[in-house]
Amino acid sequence: MSKNNETFWEEMFTYYAQIKNPSQEDIVALLREIQEAIGCIPKTFQERAATCMKTSPVLISTIIKKYPSLKEESFQHEIRVCTGPCCTSKGSLEIQKELQNLLHIETNQVTKDQRIYLTTQCCMKHCKKGPNLMINGKVFHGLTKERVIELLQDLPPLSFL
């Protein structure tokens, strides 16, 4: 099953959620699996790991910092496409596909230049204005493929280039 498939992640998190009183080793094992699939452990996945392991995102972040082999976010911009029912009925899945094509990645992956991380969110609470997406926490409404290209072009380049 593809690691970019939400079912893959649901199965993984369900598996780890069954562990009673998870140890730090269990948490590290889950974090390693996330990193293996994505290349780093983005905030959204830290939050999911915390819920799954019945702990806080702060502890998850502390564990990541403690293990040099584990990496937090290693990208500059996060793009979240809304995959809630209203937005999908207005074409957000086509927007998601367009972004995958433009960035040459699947969802829940980071671009080769480590610049952009593409992910999804189920509803951003702006259903009437969809299809919506969020860039670095800011929501953009009524998206079209043309508008997505403009938004990508407006993103600042890597700071070290």
Tokens of 113: 């230049």
State the nearest-atom distance from the C-beta of 130 to ligand FES, in Å. 5
Output 104 or 128, the one with its CB closest to ligand FES: 128
Output 35 or 83, the one with its CB closest to ligand FES: 83
State the nearest-atom distance from the C-beta of 90 to ligand FES, in Å. 8
Output 64 or 79, the one with its CB closest to ligand FES: 79
State the nearest-atom distance from the C-beta of 93 to ligand FES, in Å. 11
Best CA proximity match to 144, nearest among 123, 130, 154: 130
Tokens of 104: 């040459």
Residues binding ligand FES (CB under 6 A): 82, 84-87, 123-127, 130, 132
Output 28 or 139, the one with its CB closest to ligand FES: 139
Nearest residue to ligand FES, using CB? 84
Exposure string of 87-97, with b = 16+ CB inside 10 Å and e = fewer, is bbebbbeebbe
State the nearest-atom distance from the C-beta of 116 to ligand FES, in Å. 20
What 154-159 contacts at long range (C-beta under 8 Å, 24+ apart), as own/partner pairs, is 155/76, 155/77, 155/115, 155/116, 156/76, 157/115, 158/76, 158/113, 158/114, 158/115, 159/76
